[in-house]
Structure 1
Amino acid sequence: MQIELQQITKRFGQVLANDQVSMTVQAGSIHGLLGENGAGKSTIVKVLSGFISRDSGSVLFDGEAANIKTPADAIRSGVGMLHQDPLDFPPLSVLDNFVVGRGEVLAKGLFSGLKFVNLDRARQEFLRLSETFNFSLNPDVRVADLTVGERQQLEIIRLLSLGVKTLILDEPTTGISASQKTALFEAARRLAAEGKSVIFVSHKLEDVEELCDRVTVMRAGQVVGHAEIPCPDSVLIDLIFGKELALPIKPRTQQSEPMLELDGIVVKDDRLTLKVDTLTAYKGEVIGLAGLEGSGQQLLLLLCAGLMRASAGRIEIDALDMTQKPYPAYLKHGIGYSPADRLKDGLIRGLSIHEHVILRQPNQSPFIDWKATHQTALEAIAMFNIRGKPHSHVERLSGGNQQRTQLALLPVPLNLLLMEHPTRGLDIESTLWVWQQLIARCQTGTTILFMSSDLDEIMQYSDRVLVFSGGEVSEPIAASELTVEKLGQMIGGRFE
C-alpha cells in the first residue's frame, strides 16, 4: 500500500510539532524516518496510526483520501504501529493477546448476533504466522514472561492478522537481542517483498543503512530532506543536525580531586542494559550526557542518585563507597537529583513552597516550627528569585519558577548534582538564570552530570561529554573536541 502524507500540521499549544510535513512511502519498500529528539518523528507516525489527530493536511492510501481518527480506523485502513513499548496485556496469555482487537467475544454464545472467537482457529493462525516469520513463540505462556523482542514479535503477527498492509516500527531495535533483531529485519524484508510497506523510525545509522531503501529526515518539525540508501553517513548527519555545534561558554574546569568514580557498572531496566567500565568526574566539573531519549542517560543519573541499584560494579562518591547504599545515605552525603518532570517526580501537587521547605528539613522532632520554616521559605524565595509566596502551591507556579523551587530544595552542601533536562520548557531569561546558578555551584566544588535533548546546551555548558546510544556509552570527550559528524556517528551507534 502506497502512503502519501500531504502538508500535515500538528500543534500542541505553542509547540509546532509537525509543520507542513509531506512524505510518500511506496508499496513494497522499507522507508526510514530519521531525526534527533524533538524533530517530530513520533508525532507524524502517531498521526498516521490514529493515536493523534492532525490539525490540517491530508493522508492518502493508494491515492484515496483516508479519514484516520483512531488507531482502530488506521488498522481498518491497513496501518498498524509497533510502539517502543508494545501495547499488550502482560497478565494474559500470548494467544489471548493475539486475538485482542478483533471485535469478537471470548466467551460461549449466550447472546444472539454476536461473533465469537474460534480459539482453535486462532491458535492455528498464530502458529502459521509464527512459523512464516521464524518467530519462536509459545501461545500458552503469559506475556509478562516474554522478552521485549518476543513481545514485539507477538505484536507484529497480531497486527498482520488484522490485515495491516503498512507496519510502523518505532525504534524497534532497542533492548532486543542480536538474533531477535535478525528475525525482525527478515520479517520486514519479507513484508516488503509481499508488496507491503514498512516505516522504520530509528536513530541507528547502521540499522537504517542495513534495512531501508529510502529515508526521510526531519528537523524541528519539518522535513528537511530525503535520501536513497546506501548514502554516505556525512549526508545523513548534515540533514539530521543541520548546523555546527555551539562553542563551549563555560570556563573549563581543571581536573583536580575526583568526586564520582564508577568501576565495572552494569545497570538494567526492562528495555536496556547500560555498562560503564570506568568513569571519573572531578570536583567542579560539568559532564553532559548526549544521545536520544531512552539511550541510557537516565539510568546513569538514577544510579548515581541512589534511586536505582547496579547489578554489578562499584560507585564511589567523594572517596566514600556508596555501592548498594540506600537513597537517604546519598542525600545525607550531598547528592541532589533534579528530574525532568517537575510536578510528577520533583515537587508535590497541592503543597506550598513553605511545605516543601518543611519536608526538606532534616528534623527528627515530630513538631514543626512554623515560624522558623516560614522564614526559611522566604529566604529561599529571595535567594532563588522565585516568583511566588511561601503559601503558593507549586503547581500554580510557572515552569521556570518550579525549576527554581527544585533548585532551592537541593541538599546543602551539594557535592554531586544530577539533572534531567535542566532548562526544558523555560524561557531564555530563566534558562540563563539556571545556568548562572549551576556554574556558581561548580565554582564551589559541586560536580554536575546532566542530560539534555538540546545539543547546544550540552556543548555550551559541559567540560566533557558522554554520548549514549542504545545502552552503549562513549569515553568522556572534551566538548571543545566534538564535531557534528563525530557526535552524529556516536549517537547513531558508531563509537569507533
Structure 2
Amino acid sequence: MRVELNHISKSFGRVRANQDISLTFEGGHIYAILGENGAGKSTLMKIMSGYQSADSGEIVVDGTPVILESPTSAIEHGIGMLYQDPLDFPPFTVLENFIAGRPGGFFPDRHAAREALVTLAERFNFDLDPDAYIDMMTIGERQQLEIIRLLSLNVHALILDEPTTGISAEQKSQLFDVLKALAKEDGLTVVLVSHKLEDVIELCDEAVVLRRGRFVGRTAIPCAISTLVELMFGKVVDRQARPPVEVGPPVLAVKDVSLVTRRLTVDHVSLDVRAGEVIGLAGLDGSGQGEFVRACTGLLAPQSGTIHIAGRSMAGRPYHQFVQSSIAFLPAGRLEEGLIAGMTLTEHFALTLPNAAPWVNWFQARRATQERISHFNVKGRPGSPIQTLSGGNQQRFALSLLRHKLKLLLLEHPTRGLDVESANTIWEQLLARREDGTAILFISAELDEIVAYSDRILVFFGGQATLVDDPAHMTASHLGELIGGRTGA
C-alpha cells in the first residue's frame, strides 16, 4: 500500500499542530516519525488513521484520494493505528474488545473470534486471557490486545504510537520480528511513532522528523542516534545529571506487606524510604510493582503487613488520608486516572487550589495556571482542553498540579512516551523536589532510567521483590537479568 499525505495542516485554536506537511509511505518499508513532544507527530498520525480530520490537505491511498471520516473508515481503506493510550472499553472482556469493530453485526461468531485472538496472541507471545476484563489489565497488555485486533482486521498500513511501552524485551523482539516480516514479506506499510531511538535504529528503514508542526528532514537508517537527536532538537541533548543529596529522616516504612488481587499475589514486601531518597521500582509489567505503589497510596488495601508514613500507621486507610499526610501519586494513565478529559487546564487548577469559599476564584485559578504553564514549559493555554495537549505536555501539566511540599511522591512511568528533552525536563522538576526533602518512588520500564536516577532499586518478579542497595555498579543488562527472575543483586 502506498499512502500519500499532501499539504496536511491542522490547528487547535491558536496552536498549529501540523503545517503544510507532505509525506509518502511505501509498502514494504518501516518508517519512524520522530520529533519532540508537541511536534505534531501523533496529530499527523491521527489524521492519517481517521481519528481527526485535517483543516486542509488530502490523503491519497494507492493513487486515489480518500476521505477518512473515522478510524472505522480508515480501517476499511486498510489503515489502522495503535494509539499511545489504548482506545478500548474497560467494562468489557478481552474477547469482547477484540470483537469490537469486526464484521458480524449484532451476532458475531464468538468462537471464530476467540480462535483468531488466541492464534495471534500466541504468534506474538502475548499472555492474554480472552475472558479477563480490560480494567484488570495493565496499559502494556491493553496495547498488546490492540495490536493483534488491528492485524486481525487485515490492515495494510499499520501505525504504532509508542508500541513497546510496557512490554518485555522478549515480547519486543518478537514484535519487531513480526513487523519486519509483515513489511518485507507481505508488503505491509509500517509507521512507528516512538521516542525510543534505539528501537527506531533497530526496526526502521527511514526516519521522518517533525519540529514544531513542520517537516524538517528525513534520513535513512542505520545512522547514529546523535544524528536523529540533532534533527529532532537542532542540538545534542544529554541526560539530566543526578546531584547527590543527603537523605533525611524516615518517610515511608513498609513491613511484610502482602497483596492479593485477581492478577497475582505480592508476597511479604518490606521497604524503608528516607526523605530525599529516590527508589526505582523495576519489573516486567504486571510483576507486582503497580500493586505495591497503590498500596503505598491507600488505593489498594494490603492483605497483611504494616505501612507507616512519618511514623503514623496508614495500612487500610483511604487514599484521601494519604493525601492529607503529604503523599501524592501520579499514575501512568494520564487521562484515565491522573487528569480529566474535557476539562481545561484552568479548571484542573481550580480543583486543586485551596479555597474555603463556596465559589471558584477564576482569576486566581487562571493566574496560577499561567504561572505553572510557564514554569513547567507546558505547550498549552489556560483555556486549552487537557486532551488537546501532547502526551509530554499532559505529563508536565500533571506534575504542575502537585503540591509544593510533599513527603512522598509516587509515580508510574513518569517519562512514558516522552522524548529525551521532555524526559530531562520531568527529571529536572523531580530532582528539585528531592532537594527539598521529598522522597520519590517511581516505576519505569526504561532500565537506563532506573539505573541513572535511583539511590536503591526494588526489583519485582512474579510478586516477589529483591532490593538492590547499591545500584552504582549496576548495569541495565544486570538489572534486566534480575527482572527476568535471576536471584541475587
TM-score bracket for this pair, using the shorter chain length: 0.5 to 0.7
Give the alignment of 1:27-42 within 5 angstroms.
Answer: 27-42=27-42
Q: CA deviation at 1:221?
A: 2.8
Q: 2:360 aligns with which of 378, 393, 399?
A: 393
Q: Which moved more, 1:206-215 or 1:301-310?
A: 301-310
> Structure 1: which amino acid aligns with 2:95?
V
Q: Deviations over 1:294-327 (max 9, x none)?
A: 9x99999866644456899997643556566542
> Structure 2: which amino acid aligns with 1:134?
R
**Residue 131 (structure 2) aligns with:** 142
Note if 1:235 corresponds to 2:203. Answer: no
Give the alignment of 1:273-288 within 5 angstroms.
Answer: 282=275
**Residue 219 (structure 1) aligns with:** 211
Give the alignment of 1:34-433 within 5 angstroms.
Answer: 34-84=34-84, 85=86, 87=88, 91=92, 94=95, 97-98=98-99, 100-102=101-103, 104-107=104-107, 119=109, 123=112, 127=116, 130=119, 134=123, 141-142=130-131, 144=133, 147-148=141-142, 151-152=145-146, 154-160=148-154, 164-192=155-183, 193-243=185-235, 255-257=247-249, 259=251, 282=275, 305-307=297-299, 317-318=309-310, 325-335=317-327, 341=339, 357=355, 377=356, 390-393=357-360, 398-401=365-368, 425=380
Q: Which moved more, 1:345-354 or 1:127-136?
A: 345-354
Q: Runs of 5+ in structure 2 lacking a partner?
A: 331-336, 383-395, 435-439, 455-475, 481-489
What TM-score do the two structures reach when normalised by structure 2?
Answer: 0.60
> Structure 2: which amino acid aligns with 1:83?
Y
Write the distance in 2 (CA, Å) between the matches of 1:346 and 1:14. Answer: 15
Q: Does the 8 Å contact 2:50/2:74 carry over to 1? A: yes
**Residue 474 (structure 1) aligns with:** 450
Q: CA deviation at 1:52?
A: 0.6
Larger Rg: 1
Q: CA deviation at 1:73?
A: 2.4
Question: Which secondary structure does the structure 1 equivalent of 2:123 belong to?
Answer: coil
> Structure 2: which amino acid aligns with 1:11?
S
Q: Does the 8 Å contact 1:143/1:151 carry over to 2? A: no
What TM-score do the two structures reach when normalised by structure 1?
Answer: 0.59
Question: Which secondary structure does the structure 1 equivalent of 2:46 belong to?
Answer: helix
**Residue 469 (structure 2) aligns with:** none
Question: Which secondary structure does the structure 2 equivalent of 1:185 belong to?
Answer: helix
Taking a change above 3 Å as real, the CA distance of residues 63 and 422 of structure 1, as seen in their structure-2 partners, is closer
Note if 1:25 corresponds to 2:2. Answer: no
Q: CA deviation at 1:187?
A: 2.7
Taking a change above 3 Å as real, the CA distance of residues 239 and 317 of structure 1, as seen in their structure-2 partners, is farther
Write the distance in 1 (CA, Å) between the matches of 2:170 and 2:98. Answer: 23
CA RMSD of aligned residues (A): 6.0
Write the distance in 2 (CA, Å) between the matches of 1:130 and 1:204. Answer: 29
> Structure 2: which amino acid aligns with 1:159?
L
Q: Does the 8 Å contact 2:314/2:322 carry over to 1? A: yes
Q: Does the 8 Å contact 2:4/2:59 carry over to 1? A: yes
Taking a change above 3 Å as real, the CA distance of residues 469 and 4 of structure 1, as seen in their structure-2 partners, is farther
Q: Which moved more, 1:469-478 or 1:311-320?
A: 311-320
| Overall identity of the aligned pairs, in % | 30
Taking a change above 3 Å as real, the CA distance of residues 325 and 219 of structure 1, as seen in their structure-2 partners, is farther
Taking a change above 3 Å as real, the CA distance of residues 468 and 67 of structure 1, as seen in their structure-2 partners, is same
**Residue 462 (structure 1) aligns with:** 431
> Structure 1: which amino acid aligns with 2:450?
S
**Count of residue pairs the alignment pairs up:** 407
Write the distance in 1 (CA, Å) between the matches of 2:246 and 2:129. Answer: 60
> Structure 1: which amino acid aligns with 2:11?
R
Q: CA deviation at 1:201?
A: 2.0
> Structure 2: which amino acid aligns with 1:240?
M
Q: Runs of 5+ in structure 1 lacking a partner?
A: 108-116, 358-376, 378-389, 407-419, 479-489
Taking a change above 3 Å as real, the CA distance of residues 137 and 22 of structure 1, as seen in their structure-2 partners, is same
Taking a change above 3 Å as real, the CA distance of residues 93 and 298 of structure 1, as seen in their structure-2 partners, is closer
> Structure 1: which amino acid aligns with 2:145?
R
Q: CA deviation at 1:55?
A: 1.3
Q: CA deviation at 1:150?
A: 5.4
Q: Does the 8 Å contact 1:246/1:456 carry over to 2? A: no
Taking a change above 3 Å as real, the CA distance of residues 56 and 230 of structure 1, as seen in their structure-2 partners, is same
Write the distance in 1 (CA, Å) between the matches of 2:90 and 2:272. Answer: 39
Write the distance in 2 (CA, Å) between the matches of 1:27 and 1:208. Answer: 18
> Structure 2: which amino acid aligns with 1:459?
E
**Residue 471 (structure 2) aligns with:** none
Q: Deviations over 1:360-418 (max 9, x none)?
A: xxxxxxxxxxxxxxxxx4xxxxxxxxxxxx454367875444699x9xxxxxxxxxxxx
Write the distance in 2 (CA, Å) between the matches of 1:270 and 1:8. Answer: 46
Q: Which moved more, 1:45-54 or 1:314-323?
A: 314-323
Taking a change above 3 Å as real, the CA distance of residues 475 and 224 of structure 1, as seen in their structure-2 partners, is same
